[in-house]
């Protein structure tokens, strides 16, 4: 009897087991404080600061990265400049701008998939694509206005960024979503080298209130609760062994990609640990991968679809010339890679890519 192979998913979430994170809730049960910046939330800010080599007062927890981006934009220094974001990004970046009630337009990206504004007289969100790092020299001259960095998947890369050397003011958001590394059930941190920005952001997450419970500017409820904080703390405990596994997988994926004639994303080339395997080639070749993998029951994903500018939700947003965005969207695709992938899954993926190579 012929057995149909199981479907290989594009990713699987990997969170610490309860026995590993429950201890971080002991103080919450002692004090009956399960939200509103409890001890686990503050401990998480300290741990993130230690990992990134910065002061803990420059780190603020938030319920998720999308709201953190909104809060970063909403509390940025006010000026008369327009905002711009890349169209080549996850829809959350654009959604965050809408939530923050900011007018913005879409900019194109360069060869490295980084925002390439045609006008320097702007505020912008600089998206670090698929775990990529920060080029500090580029950042200093990127624009004249405020910079918010969408580093949702870039925790590992940011460990080596030496954030203390960034001279210009910036706001940075990192995600702890289940699909990120390190993962959490949901959560994020906002980081800035401007302590007043951090204070305003923290206030924004509690309705713009001060210690007297009076709202001085519009905010929202975006605090990170103690349960999510506990899981993320436990995830950081497992960071280094999980990092080694991801790096082994990434090296294997990069070697296979190159063997079969595909380019890969910058984070893979740089040896950064992230659960993303994207390959690049001609539009025709990428379509071939998409079609053949579907027949082989191997999931693929157009992670950012064809750019935010093509989505109905943002059809009224002005866009500059987006030729590089269009190329990136049509000439790349994501393949499965996650913690705990079986050797059998690697064999099936390898065989599929090699069959595509043999057809040329």
pLDDT at 16 over 60: yes
**Residue-wise pLDDT tens digits, 84-118:** 999 999 999 999 999 999 999 999 999 999 999 99
- Asked whether 147 and 175 are in contact (CB, 8 A), the reply is no
pLDDT at 2 over 70: no
- Asked whether 324 and 110 are in contact (CB, 8 A), the reply is yes
Assigned CATH topology for domain 18-237 = 3.40.640
Q: Is the dihedral of CA 71, 107, 133, 251 positive or negative?
A: positive
Report the run of H or E that residue 105 belongs to, with start and end.
strand 104-107
pLDDT at 265 over 70: yes
- What distance in Å separates the CA atoms of residue 249 and residue 242, rounded to the nearest whole number? 11
pLDDT at 1 over 90: no
Contacts of 269 (CB under 8 A, 6+ apart): 254
Residue extent(s) of CATH 3.40.640.10 domains in the chain: 18-237
- What distance in Å separates the CA atoms of residue 236 and residue 187, rounded to the nearest whole number? 13
- The stretch 26-52 carries a mean pLDDT of 96
Q: How far is CA 197 from CA 49, 123, 203, 317, in A?
A: 16, 15, 10, 28
Token pair recorded at residue 313: 């939700």
How far out from the chain centre does Cα 285 lie?
27
pLDDT of 4: 74
Neighbours of 100 (CB within 10 A): 19
- Asked whether 184 and 235 are in contact (CB, 8 A), the reply is yes
pLDDT of 3: 67
pLDDT at 155 over 80: yes
Residue extent(s) of CATH 3.90.1150.10 domains in the chain: 239-358
- The stretch 170-175 carries a mean pLDDT of 98
- What distance in Å separates the CA atoms of residue 277 and residue 86, rounded to the nearest whole number? 21
- What distance in Å separates the CA atoms of residue 117 and residue 224, rounded to the nearest whole number? 33
Contacts of 128 (CB under 8 A, 6+ apart): 114, 134, 149, 150, 151, 152, 153, 154, 157
**Residue-wise pLDDT tens digits, 61-71:** 999 999 999 99
pLDDT of 360: 67
Q: What share of the chain is helix, strand, coil (3-state, %, to 5)?
A: 45, 15, 40
Neighbours of 220 (CB within 10 A): 16
Strands 122-127 and 59-62, by their bridges, are unpaired
Assigned CATH topology for domain 239-358 = 3.90.1150
- What distance in Å separates the CA atoms of residue 130 and residue 303, rounded to the nearest whole number? 9
């Amino acid at each position: 009897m012929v057995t149909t192979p199981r479907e290989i998913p594009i990713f699987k979430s990997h969170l610490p087991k309860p026995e590993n994170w429950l201890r971080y809730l002991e103080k919450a049960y002692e004090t009956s404080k399960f939200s509103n910046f409890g001890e686990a939330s503050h401990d998480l800010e300290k741990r993130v600061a230690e990992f990134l080599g910065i002061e803990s007062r420059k780190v603020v927890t938030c319920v998720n990265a999308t709201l953190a981006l909104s809060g970063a934009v909403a509390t940025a220094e006010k000026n008369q400049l327009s905002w711009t974001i890349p169209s080549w990004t996850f829809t959350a970046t654009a959604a965050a701008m809408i939530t923050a009630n900011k007018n913005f337009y879409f900019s194109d990206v360069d060869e490295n998939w980084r925002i390439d504004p045609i006008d320097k007289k702007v505020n912008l969100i600089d998206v670090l694509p698929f775990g990529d790092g920060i080029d500090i020299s580029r950042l200093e001259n990127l624009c004249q206005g405020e910079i918010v960095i969408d580093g949702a998947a870039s925790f590992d890369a940011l460990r080596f960024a030496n954030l203390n050397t960034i001279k210009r003011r910036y706001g940075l958001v990192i995600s702890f979503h289940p699909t990120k590394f390190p993962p959490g059930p949901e959560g994020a941190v906002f980081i800035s080298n401007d302590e007043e920005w951090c204070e305003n952001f923290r206030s924004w997450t509690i309705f713009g209130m001060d210690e007297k419970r009076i709202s001085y500017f519009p905010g929202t409820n975006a605090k990170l609760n103690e349960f999510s904080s506990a899981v993320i703390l436990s995830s950081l405990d497992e960071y280094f062994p999980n990092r080694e596994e991801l790096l082994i997988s990434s090296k294997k994926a990069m070697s296979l990609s190159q063997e079969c004639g595909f380019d890969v994303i910058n984070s893979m080339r740089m040896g950064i640990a992230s659960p993303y395997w994207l390959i690049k080639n001609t539009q025709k070749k990428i379509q071939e991968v998409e079609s053949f993998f579907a027949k082989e029951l191997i999931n693929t994903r157009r992670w950012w679809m064809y750019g935010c500018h093509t989505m109905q939700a943002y059809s009224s947003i002005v866009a500059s010339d987006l030729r590089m965005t269009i190329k990136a969207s049509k000439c790349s695709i994501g393949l499965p890679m996650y913690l705990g992938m079986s050797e059998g899954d690697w064999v099936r993926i390898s065989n599929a890519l090699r069959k595509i190579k043999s057809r040329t």
